[in-house]
Amino acid sequence: MREAYIVTSVRTPGCRRNKGAFAKTRPEDLLKTVVDAIFERTPNIEKKDVEDIMIGCAFPEAEQGLNIGRVIAQMCKFPDTTCGATVNRFCSSGLEAIALQIMRIKAGWCEVAIGGGVESMTIVPMGGNLPRPHPEWAKENPDVYISMGITAENVANRYKITREMQDEFGYHSQMKASNAMAKKLYKEIVPTPAKRYVEKNGTWIEETVLQDFDDGIRPTTTLEGLKKLAPAFAANGSVTAGNSSQTTDGAAATLVMSEDAVKKFGLKPIAKMVGYTVAGVRADEMGVGPAYAIPKLLKLTGKKLEDIGIFEINEAFASQAIYCLQQLGLYEKRELWASDSDKRIINVNGGAIALGHPLGCTGAKLCAQLMTEMRERGVKYGVESMCIGGGMGAAALFELVE
């Protein structure tokens, strides 16, 4: 089987649903920015060289519907010969899109492709515009339809993840992200046009500004402040807005190529995907997914946990992230994830609690973040993983190209 390489991986900032910079910006425009940025950052390649664009989206409807993979190819002025598709595996949709393009290249069916993800949680609400659970099945087993927040409470209650543990984890996510933003470590971010409306002389005027930072990061976060937040999903619960991922808007895209194409265009790739897998778990505790997907991935690729130099494990909720780290034997090693440790290898620049979780975009977004840090640190192996609504986990192993 042939080799496939990641050449360029970029993302927009993640901006808060409704209140953030992208609240008035359509998802296609977010996606167009990162797709176009691939060609600004990658010399020698033109849009005519790309055969296919696959985009992950958790709720592919309304403004982000109508096969946004093909729509964006046309919006970005690719030739008609460049095809497009949309894929949905909820929270890992963006990673699924990248993995599918890599598999197509490995199989010899494609030479150059783009995988990515997009989600505007402002424009298309959680659950979509017209959710229709199956009535009879919902009576028999409603778990696949329940709130993700309730699944986070289930994990906390079943596995004794305390409120104090969750708040501490959320605090460190914010501190890591605050440090990274201050030091401009998010080199994968593409400054993105954001529309807003301002009133001037009684008339509402549309303006466009460039957004170049994740606007959910809160440098002033304190443990004392987090302790004061009310439970978000259960009256006596422990899951709050401060220890949960932020619902955000964003897009990300990754350029992948065969070895022949890399040589043809004279490019130096960043990494290659060594393996990708998914694992099924109970729907009512979907957050435990990475605890099963990561060991399955390591077995699949013949690697040990000690081989991995950096992890991006999506923080859908602190409760599930902590549980997964516990099962991997990593949580108790506080120096591996805490913001005040220079030995940290887990979500080194903050996770979704600080940076946001734009559902179908997240898998592609984490890939871009991981590529930046692997390259900056010279880390040979990196793992990306996330839990998935409905009861799954996904994990991918990347190897830095020397």
Q: Is residue 237 part of a domain?
A: no
**Active-site annotation holder among 15, 76, 361, 387:** 387
- Looking at the DSSP assignment, which residues form a beta bridge with residue 388? 392
Residue 225 resides in a domain: no
**Model confidence pLDDT, tens digit, residues 321-333:** 999 999 999 999 9
Domain membership flag for residue 223: no
297 and 267 fall within a common domain = no
Q: Where are the beta strands (DSSP E) in 29-75?
A: 52-56
In a domain, 99, yes or no: yes
For the chain, percent of residues with pLDDT exceeding 90: 95
> Is the same domain home to 118 and 165?
no
- pLDDT band at 272; cut points 50, 70, 90: very high
- Is 91 one of the annotated active-site residues of the chain? yes
pTM, whole model, 2 decimals? 0.97
Please indicate, yes or no, if residue 169 is contained in any of the structural domains.
yes
Do 41 and 118 sit in the same domain of this protein?
Answer: yes
Contacts 24+ apart (CB under 8 A), 19-23: 20/122, 20/215, 20/216, 20/248, 20/249, 21/194, 21/196, 21/209, 21/211, 21/215, 22/120, 22/122, 22/192, 22/194, 22/211, 22/249, 22/250, 23/122, 23/249
Structure confidence by residue, pLDDT tens digits, 29-39: 999 999 999 99
β pairing state of 192-200 and 203-211: antiparallel
Please tell me the predicted confidence (pLDDT) of residue 201: 84
Based on the domain organization, do 354 and 254 belong to the same domain?
no
Residue 110 resides in a domain: yes
Residues 70 and 149 in one domain: no
Which sign does the torsion angle of CA 23, 188, 286, 224 carry? negative
Residue 377 has pLDDT above 90, yes or no: yes
pLDDT at 310 over 80: yes
Mean pLDDT (whole number) for 365-379? 98
Same domain, 94 and 203: yes
Q: How far apart are CA 117 and CA 100, in angstroms?
A: 13
Domains identified in the chain, total number: 2
Summary count for the chain: helices (H), strands (E): 12, 12
Domain identity same for 291 and 370: yes
Tell me if residue 134 is catalytic.
Answer: no
Residue 158 and residue 297 in one domain: yes
116 lies in the same domain as 69 = yes
pLDDT 10s digits, 104-146:
999 999 999 999 999 999 999 999 999 999 999 888 888 889 9
Tell whether 207 is covered by a domain.
yes
- State which residues form the domain around 314: 141-186+273-397
In a domain, 133, yes or no: no
- Please report the pLDDT score of residue 198 as a whole number: 84
C-alpha distances out from residue 263 to 159, 215, 258, Å: 50, 39, 9
Whether residue 297 is found in the same domain as residue 368: yes
Q: Are residues 175 and 317 in the same domain?
A: yes
Q: Are residues 338 and 296 in the same domain?
A: yes
Give me the CATH number covering residue 182. Answer: 3.40.47.10
Q: Choosing from 15, 57, 172, 357, which is the catalytic residue?
A: 357
Confidence at residue 202, expressed as pLDDT on a 0 to 100 scale: 85
Tell me if residue 172 is catalytic: no
Catalytic residue among 15, 76, 91, 324: 91
Read off the pLDDT of each residue in 338-347 and give the average, rounded to a whole number.
98
